[in-house]
A and B are shown apart, each in its own frame.
Chain A
Amino acid sequence: MKKIIKYVFADILRNKIVLGYTIFLLLISMSVFNLEDNSSKGLLSLLNIILIIVPLVSIIFSTIYIYNSAEFIELLVSQPLKRKHIWGSLFTGLAGSLSLSFLVGAGLPVMIYTPMDIGLVMTGMGLLLTVIFVAIAMFAAVITRDKAKGIGISIFLWLYFSLLFDGLVLFILFQFEDYPLEKFMVVASALNPIDLGRILILLKMDISALMGYTGAVFRDFFGTQSGFIIAIGILLSWIITTFWLSLRKFNRKDL
């Protein structure tokens, strides 16, 4: 398995898109911190990038990479290798290299320019979102043979998680205005890794009190040590579940 990871990793790092992504992130985060007069404002600008760009790039790049690696996968499958290992290696290679470029492009500047705990949470969330969306991409790529269709599914999933889901939540909120929805909101946030990541980051920033404004449910739940750990657990289970689903598909896939 290690050997395949090595080849996938080397192949992706040679890819100019990943390099471009790293430089793009680096440029944005440096300019955000240098142009904004206060670092908390810069942090907020960067928050949007982490919540929008990172999932987008992760999911699209991974989907395309999987499709472009069809030959490679075919070659490997005919070799004495476990499918689990092949798929796992692809996942590790993609998640690893994209995480690395996030770490270099955004993680480093964040760590340098912002207070320790916010920087850590922000970088951690960026990494988790990267990995989650690689897993989602692999799921999208494995359920259909058609590359165009697969990329379409990926873009739709990204749109769903970053926009449609929130629109749906807003809709529900106003439809059921008269009911206490705080608990529902906590559950809803667990159903969308982007929302959960955003809430966890916001809770670490001093505007967190605004979240508490809504009856404190978020702060009471996710703001505590155990709540934070639960939230991380939810995000990890997003990775595990999605990857496991895609692996199950891949194990039965005809090449």
Chain B
Amino acid sequence: MICCTSFGRTLFVGKGRQYTSINSAIAAAVNGDSIRVDNGIYREKNILINKTITLVGNNYPVLDGEHKYEIISIKADGVTVKGFRLIHSGVSSMEDIAGIKIYNRHDVNISGNILEDTFFGIYSQAGVNCLIENNKLTAIGTTEQQSGNGIHCWKCDSMRIIGNTVTGHRDGIYFEFVTNSVIWRNISFRNKRYGLHFMFSHNDAYICNIFQNNGAGVSVMFTHGVKMFNNVFEENWGDAAYGIFLKEISDSYIAGNKFLRNTSGIYMEGTSRILVEKNEFSSNGWGMKIQASCLDNTITHNNFLSNTFDVGTNGSLVMNSFDHNYWDKYEGYDLNKDNTGDIPYRPVSLYSMIVEKNPASMMLFRSFMTSLLDKSEKILPTLTPENLKDNYPIMKPLHL
């Protein structure tokens, strides 16, 4: 079917062209045709694409949804939508109105569009093998209820989400039941809730994305086989914000990421068999918070720098390994010069345990009192978990 596009005709839309509306051009087109749209403002209510066509905007023609309509609905396989500026989609609390919505189709290509003030941005419902690339999505909804997700995928497979920029939405990128997909080089910042939010989305890879300054950071849950490489999670400050919140994630691999200036770099709850390696945790409130429900996770060869608390936990039983990391707060020594400290490092401070038990005691944050407590606990550990320690702390920061 894709092969046909090269043989199709090209239909032109614009002032003084054969077609003055996009809908009339679509009506006239057959599978494999291209439609080229001139610059201008088009108010066509809903544009329904039900043929395998390529719809290309010339110099970003504006498609205005007038705050009422879903702007483009794709109900055919192999559709391409490229180079439009979509504005003012409808807003509804009953249905998920989007700027561009894919209905149960495969091989759809949505690239190089600008979406402004849309409810949902690009919505893929049961899409397969679709490419969403280099789009720029900006929502202006003021509350979580008034804004939908930027790139929203539901029950999809083999998606490629590449190089998009999403901001101002509820969740920047939202996945539910999305498998075998790749999310690469996207930037998701200042979204109302999460920069990235997924659940039940197994075996996806997240590579080189930037999640910045989102309301509550990144939250992912109930998934196995997650691979995250070289992403940046930064500036997610807030009462319940996380660099990344991992809930019930298993058999996953988190490597080469940077967690910078978050309330908690990684917050883990009920995770198991995750390998966290070669990441940088820098200037976070908590570098990592690991709840007692986590099991068999390995945290190794990471740099922990300038975090207020390196690791926080809520229990005394710890079944995870923290060996071979670099901790800038380590005060031990290395007599045999093998670049491994001779005494273990305990990354959990007494005060962080107190705060965990009784959050109001945050009032005493950085007081003389609490630093004395921490010092005495270092000398004589009583309350901090006995086996949460790095037995082989590295003396020099790793080059990551």
Q: Please list the residues of chain A having a beta carbon within 8 angstroms of any beta carbon in chain B.
A: 38, 40-41, 44, 47-48, 51-52, 162-163, 166-167, 169-170, 173-174, 177, 181-182, 184-185, 188-189, 194-195, 198-199, 202, 206-216, 218
Contact = CB atoms under 8 A, between A and B. Distances in A.
A166 B369 contact: yes
B152 to A, nearest CB: 28
B283 A189 contact: no
B358 interface: yes
Contacts of B241: 209
Interface stretch (B137-145, B296-304, B360-368): B360-368
B285 A210 contact: yes
A38 B260 CA distance: 14
B359 A214 contact: yes
B237 A209 contact: yes
A207 B360 contact: no
A210 B212 CA distance: 18
Contacts of B368: 48, 51-52, 162-163, 166
A185 B367 contact: no
A41 to B, nearest CB: 6
Given A163-B368, A213-B239, A207 B308 contact: yes
A209 B263 CA distance: 7
Given A48-B371, A213-B263, A169 B366 contact: no
B278 interface: no
B360 A214 contact: yes
B261 interface: yes
Nearest to B359: A214
B306 A210 contact: no
B364 A209 contact: no
Given A170-B354, A195-B367, A209 B360 contact: no
B365 A195 contact: no
Contacts of B369: 163, 166-167, 170
B363 A195 contact: yes
Residue in A162, A189, A213, A218 with the greatest tally of chain B CB atoms within 10 Å = A213
Contacts of A206: 237, 261, 283
Given A162-B368, A207-B285, A181 B360 contact: yes
Contacts, number: 93
Given A162-B368, A163-B369, A163-B372, 17 more contacts: A51-B368, A166-B368, A170-B364, A174-B358, A181-B360, A189-B363, A209-B263, A211-B362, A212-B238, A213-B285, A213-B359, A213-B362, A214-B355, A214-B359, A214-B362, A215-B239, A215-B360
Nearest to A36: B306
5 contacts: A48-B371, A166-B367, A173-B358, A177-B357, A214-B359
A133 to B, nearest CB: 14
Contact of A211 (B261, B354, B358, B365): B365
A185 B360 contact: yes
Interface of B: 237-239, 241, 261, 263, 283, 285, 306, 308, 354-355, 357-372
Nearest to A168: B369
Contacts of A199: 363
Given A170-B354, A209-B239, A210-B308, A202 B364 contact: no
Nearest to B309: A210
B367 A40 contact: no
Contacts of B283: 38, 40, 206
Contacts of A173: 358, 360-361
B283 to A, nearest CB: 7
The 7 closest A-B pairs by CB, nearest first: A166-B369, A209-B237, A214-B362, A214-B359, A210-B285, A185-B363, A181-B360
Contacts of A202: 365-366
Contact of B306 (A38, A162, A209): A38
A41 B285 contact: no
A169 B371 contact: no
A211 B359 CA distance: 9
B308 to A, nearest CB: 6
Contact of A198 (B261, B285, B360, B366): B366
Residue in A198, A208, A214, A215 with the greatest tally of chain B CB atoms within 10 Å = A214
A132 B232 CA distance: 45
A38 B261 CA distance: 13
Residue in B261, B354, B360, B362 with the greatest tally of chain A CB atoms within 10 Å = B360
Contacts of A210: 263, 285, 308, 362, 365
Contacts of B263: 209-210, 213
A169 B362 contact: no
A210 B369 CA distance: 18
Contacts of B370: 166
A173 to B, nearest CB: 5
A38 B238 CA distance: 23
Nearest to B285: A210
B359 to A, nearest CB: 4
A174 B355 CA distance: 11
Nearest to A182: B360
Residue in A188, A210, A211 with the greatest tally of chain B CB atoms within 10 Å = A210
Residue in B361, B367, B371, B372 with the greatest tally of chain A CB atoms within 10 Å = B367
Nearest to A179: B360
B218 to A, nearest CB: 16
A214 B238 contact: no
A211 B371 CA distance: 16
A194 B241 CA distance: 29
A172 to B, nearest CB: 10
B306 A41 contact: yes
A211 to B, nearest CB: 6
B204 to A, nearest CB: 29
Nearest to B308: A207
Contact of B364 (A44, A169, A215, A216): A169
Contacts of B355: 213-214
Contacts of A207: 285, 308
A68 B96 CA distance: 79
B367 A216 contact: no
